[in-house]
């Protein structure tokens, strides 16, 4: 997966920013965000922060493809369900959040690898 840098964007800065976002995704998945509300808000906060950090570094279409995915849209829609006390609902939401974050980290790893390669 390649991204298009904004004109004038510094390649090293973009790699550093993507690496930071990747690390923050790990934190969003961490045990400190246990429970549906914590995981969901942690994920949505991560997505908003990440998009803000990437603004003016890569094209908006790449941000949409990398951060604001269909999975993001599903999680945003689920935001109204976070107060549900139903254990099954919470497990399903947690699983979806974990999967989406895992997919995002894999995509970030691919982009970072591509940008670090000598022949992008």
63 part of a folded domain:
yes
Using the predicted structure, report yes or no on whether residue 80 has a pLDDT greater than 70.
no
60 part of a folded domain:
yes
- Mind giving me the DSSP string for 12-45? HHHHHHHHHHHHHHHHHHSGGG-SHHHHHHHHHH
120 part of a folded domain:
no
pLDDT for 105:
95
The owner of tokens 């922060």 is 49
Domain extent, residue 72, equals 11-112
35 part of a folded domain:
yes
Dump pLDDT digits (tens) for 93-102.
888 888 999 9
1 part of a folded domain:
no
Looking at residues 60-80, what average pLDDT do you find? 89
Number of domains in the chain: 1
Task: Give the predicted TM-score (pTM) of the model.
Answer: 0.85
68 part of a folded domain:
yes
* Confidence grade of residue 81 (pLDDT, cut at 50, 70, 90): low
pLDDT for 36:
55
């Amino acid at each position: 997966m390649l991204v298009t840098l904004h004109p004038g964007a510094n390649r090293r800065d973009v790699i550093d920013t993507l690496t930071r976002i990747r690390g923050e995704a790990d934190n969003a998945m961490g045990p400190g965000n246990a429970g549906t509300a914590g995981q969901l808000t942690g994920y949505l906060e991560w997505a908003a922060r990440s998009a803000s950090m990437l603004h003016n570094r890569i094209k908006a279409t790449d941000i949409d493809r990398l951060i604001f995915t269909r999975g993001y849209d599903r999680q945003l829609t689920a935001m109204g369900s976070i107060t549900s006390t139903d254990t099954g609902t919470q497990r399903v939401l947690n699983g979806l959040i974990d999967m989406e974050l895992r997919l995002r980290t894999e995509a970030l790893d691919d982009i970072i690898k591509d940008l670090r390669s000598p022949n992008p």
